[in-house]
Structure 1
Amino acid sequence: MTMKLRAVINFLLLTCASWCVYSDDDRLMVNITLVQNASAQGAVCLDGSLPAYHLDSGFGDGASNWLLEFEGGGWCNDIKSCLERAQTRRGSSNYMNRTEVFAGILSNNASQNPDFYNWNRVKLRYCDGASFAGDGKFDNGTSLLYFRGQRIWQAIIHDLLPKGLGSAAKALLSGCSAGGLASFLHCDNFTSYLPSNASVKCMSDAGFFLNIKDISLNETIKSIYNDVVSLQGVQQNLNGNCTSSRSDPKQCFFPQYALPYIKTPFFVLNAAYDVWQFHNILVPSSADPGQTWSHCKQNLTACSSDQINILQGLRNDMLGALSVFYNSSNSGGMYINSCFVHCQSEQQDTWFAPDSPRLNNKMIAEAVGDWYFGRRETKEIDCAYPCDNTCHTKMS
């Protein structure tokens, strides 16, 4: 997109801030595609159903560019939780919606997604429970589960290569939440499929899950991740340079340990007070049996000063884990705002809208675009809560 057109779009956004309305009738609905030959490769969802994606084709000068977005949705770390998951859209394509809304970074509207609107945009549906990284199987004669996330990833890529991905000029691999974690895990592998002269980069939105203790000093998330890696056969698919460098190779499922070994240019988009990490890593229900945090989890104004201090510690842990990446001279980018939210790139109101969050007067879409196209260095870190009055607080 030209600088002149970008300026026009920004002017319209600013001048319509009080009256612009995005109608549900204007939403882009994209049909599902089942990967028909995937079962021959053993690339199936937890229940054995076919994997799926949604593709909206590019046009104009974006026709040869590709954006792939991993869907998120947590993990399953034991047989019980995986069996339950297999009866939902997170573990079976039989339960998936036949159409998906494409908004934010997936929008095909230049006024809502100025840099990527006319690219080929793909949403990879999540149905394995291990961030597209497992390769195993469970069969006790009564119950059968397929842990085939890695094969699903490969099957979808091979389905897209002859549709134009194989000759991509520009490409961006992204994802939200558990899909954001998948971006860390598959970034360099994605690059290996594309032409050597292609501009390939990766981004994670709300996927920088921290290896920290909860408020009861238990290693809740580490235990969950260890179980996911062991149950689903993930370790063999983790970054080899990372696993060989650590006494506990399973730790390379954590982005903070994998990121230094990623060679492809990477952008980290995360809220410093990521709500999912707040609720499930820092203050999981198991660490708060007396529910002393229940009101704070629902409403920040109900948080005590001690609770706010603990939340400031969450921000400090995130910035500490990103410090080497931030201070390096690599081609990476960063946008860490001090909002209480989880995932911001797929939501129109937080990606690019009149009242979107801003950091140094820059919306998330602008920061990502500036980084991807090399318009300027983008490593933005917000001041601590409650200094940012542009945040969209979403506590659930």
Structure 2
Amino acid sequence: METNIQTMADHFKKLVICLVFVMNIIHHQVHGERVGFNKVSLTYVTNAVCLDGSPAGYYYDPGFGDGVSNWVIYMQGGGWCGSNGSCRYRLTQETGSSNYKNQTMYFGQIRSENQTENPDFYNWNKIFLAYCDSSSLMGDADHPNITSRGAVIFDAIMQELLEKGMANATNAILSGGSAGGLAAILHCDGFRSLLPNSSRVKCVIDSGFFIHAPQLHGAEKRAEYFANVSAYHGFTNNLAPSCRSRMNANLCIFPEYILKDIQTPLFLVESAFDEYQLGYHYVSDDPNFLNCTKNLTLCTPSHFQSMKDYGVALREKLEELRGSTSIGMFVHPCYRHGHFYEKLGWNASYKLKNKTIAQAVGDWFFDRSSLFQEIDTDNVYPLARNCTKLPNI
């Protein structure tokens, strides 16, 4: 009798394995890299909405194989607004309304199903959280015809994902690029608290280290800009308490002041010559500098010096984090903003310590090697392999 029961159990186990195998085949045959848009349910959280009041949403590609219990969430960037005028402009843009989001989108890089391109995370559950609140998913405020509900959006989507199976996650990553990268920093510990039973929960930040850098030109303007953003969206008093207790609360949106207090391990992928920060964060008062950042052949020697000053300031801030035992970093001299969009960024031939970004992040996440904290300091100007190049001066 016991033998028959064991035989039946063995047959059932084989049947389950075969069924999983068949489902994986079907998944790859009918499930391409175009992923559909899901509007968040407003049944229980009625105000998880974009600036214009349309439902927020996300793109979801279910995991398969041995990745079904692992999750990677990537939060889209898109800058910020900090006034009625600048936010009103976004009501007819995808940064302020889900009505302008693509119904499907391509999943690549850390969200790719291509095992060669993305060997460590290719079969995980993959989420692209669409950005439409313009507050790095932190806002909770009302203005005439404008609704700021970034924090509510984050909580509502996290709740939906927990119900979809993320509550039982073995491994999980919260990630994001640009304004979404800053959101990943600000929400990192909160995300970890949602998954107390998971083996590994970490955060990966793509071009989200926006600097105040008091020693760098434009520091007062950068502080004023972000103070306006946090005040308009009503989240200044929700920034890290440990930071607010020791300095002006308006500065606690800057990663350089809060990263050391974050308990969850995180990894920074940054350019020492970030194209967006150089162009829009007051590094130079020269009216021609913005044109230079958009077309490097138009740059003058003084423009290059401003870039160099920025690179020095950024590296100094990152060097201060080397003492951390949980913050990894891959900081290169390529002139760019964002890395998880095309192969040049994620799995490029450009390497630090003979590792691509994909390899460095994978080894760091799975603790396969010592903590990766590499800052390329060989180039004083943004000259590097497989990058937009500046002329020698």
Normalised-by-shorter TM-score class:
0.7 to 0.9
User: 2:363 aligned with 1:370, yes or no?
Assistant: yes
**Match of 1:6?**
none
**Match of 1:178?**
179
User: 2:331 aligned with 1:325, yes or no?
Assistant: no
Question: What's the CA shift string for 1:363-382, capped at 9, x where partnerless?
Answer: 11011111111111211111
Q: Quote the offset at 1:66 in angstroms.
A: 0.3
Q: Secondary structure at the match of 1:208?
A: coil
**Match of 1:392?**
387
AA aligned to 2:366 is F
Alpha-carbon distance in 2 for matches of 1:394, 1:58: 39
Q: Secondary structure at the match of 2:336?
A: coil
**Match of 1:380?**
374
Question: What's the CA shift string for 1:162-211, capped at 9, x where partnerless?
Answer: 11111100001100000000011000000011133431000110000011
Q: Quote the offset at 1:307 in angstroms.
A: 2.8
AA aligned to 2:157 is I
Q: Give the greater-gyration-radius structure (CA).
A: 2
Aligned length: 358
**Match of 2:108?**
103
Alpha-carbon distance in 1 for matches of 2:157, 2:222: 29
2:383, 2:389 within 8 Å by CA — same for their partners in 1?
A: no
Note the aligned Cα RMSD (angstroms).
2.2
Alpha-carbon distance in 2 for matches of 1:187, 1:267: 11
AA aligned to 1:126 is Y
Alpha-carbon distance in 2 for matches of 1:225, 1:257: 14
Q: Secondary structure at the match of 2:155?
A: helix
Say if 1:387 and 1:223 are closer, same or farther in 2 by CA, change over 3 A: closer
AA aligned to 1:309 is Q
The 5 Å alignment of 1:157-236 reads 157-212=158-213, 217=218, 219-236=220-237
Q: Secondary structure at the match of 1:219?
A: helix
Say if 1:87 and 1:394 are closer, same or farther in 2 by CA, change over 3 A: farther
1:214, 1:281 within 8 Å by CA — same for their partners in 2?
A: no
1:27, 1:103 within 8 Å by CA — same for their partners in 2?
A: no
User: 2:137 aligned with 1:132, yes or no?
Assistant: yes
Q: Quote the offset at 1:41 in angstroms.
A: 3.9
Question: What's the CA shift string for 1:9-43, capped at 9, x where partnerless?
Answer: xxxxxxxxxxxxxxxxx971100011122674422
Q: Secondary structure at the match of 1:207?
A: coil
Alpha-carbon distance in 2 for matches of 1:394, 1:156: 40
AA aligned to 1:259 is L
Say if 1:216 and 1:264 are closer, same or farther in 2 by CA, change over 3 A: closer
2:169, 2:198 within 8 Å by CA — same for their partners in 1?
A: no
User: 2:335 aligned with 1:340, yes or no?
Assistant: yes
Say if 1:260 and 1:216 are closer, same or farther in 2 by CA, change over 3 A: closer
Say if 1:301 and 1:47 are closer, same or farther in 2 by CA, change over 3 A: closer
Say if 1:69 and 1:38 are closer, same or farther in 2 by CA, change over 3 A: farther
Alpha-carbon distance in 1 for matches of 2:350, 2:32: 21
1:345, 1:364 within 8 Å by CA — same for their partners in 2?
A: no
**Match of 1:61?**
66
Alpha-carbon distance in 2 for matches of 1:253, 1:317: 18
Q: Any gaps of 5 or more consecutive residues in structure 2? A: 1-30
2:75, 2:181 within 8 Å by CA — same for their partners in 1?
A: yes
Q: Quote the offset at 1:394 in angstroms.
A: 8.9
Q: Secondary structure at the match of 1:273?
A: strand
AA aligned to 1:181 is L
Alpha-carbon distance in 2 for matches of 1:210, 1:378: 21
- Percent identity over the alignment is 40
Alpha-carbon distance in 2 for matches of 1:294, 1:152: 33
User: 2:316 aligned with 1:315, yes or no?
Assistant: no
**Match of 2:119?**
114
Alpha-carbon distance in 1 for matches of 2:43, 2:251: 30
Question: What's the CA shift string for 1:264-318, capped at 9, x where partnerless?
Answer: 001111000000011011446xx223x2x35532443543333323212111111
**Match of 2:241?**
240
AA aligned to 2:223 is K
Q: 1:30 aligns with which of 17, 35, 39?
A: 35
Say if 1:333 and 1:294 are closer, same or farther in 2 by CA, change over 3 A: closer
Q: Any gaps of 5 or more consecutive residues in structure 1? A: 1-25
Say if 1:244 and 1:121 are closer, same or farther in 2 by CA, change over 3 A: same
Q: Quote the offset at 1:235 in angstroms.
A: 1.5
Q: Quote the offset at 1:357 in angstroms.
A: 2.3
**Match of 1:88?**
93
**Match of 2:286?**
288
**Match of 2:254?**
254
Say if 1:387 and 1:251 are closer, same or farther in 2 by CA, change over 3 A: closer
1:214, 1:283 within 8 Å by CA — same for their partners in 2?
A: no
Q: 1:300 aligns with which of 291, 296, 310?
A: 296
Alpha-carbon distance in 2 for matches of 1:308, 1:251: 28
Say if 1:371 and 1:218 are closer, same or farther in 2 by CA, change over 3 A: closer
**So what's the TM-score if we normalise by structure 1?**
0.85
Q: Quote the offset at 1:332 in angstroms.
A: 1.7
AA aligned to 1:370 is D
Q: Secondary structure at the match of 1:30?
A: strand
Q: Secondary structure at the match of 1:171?
A: strand
AA aligned to 2:81 is C
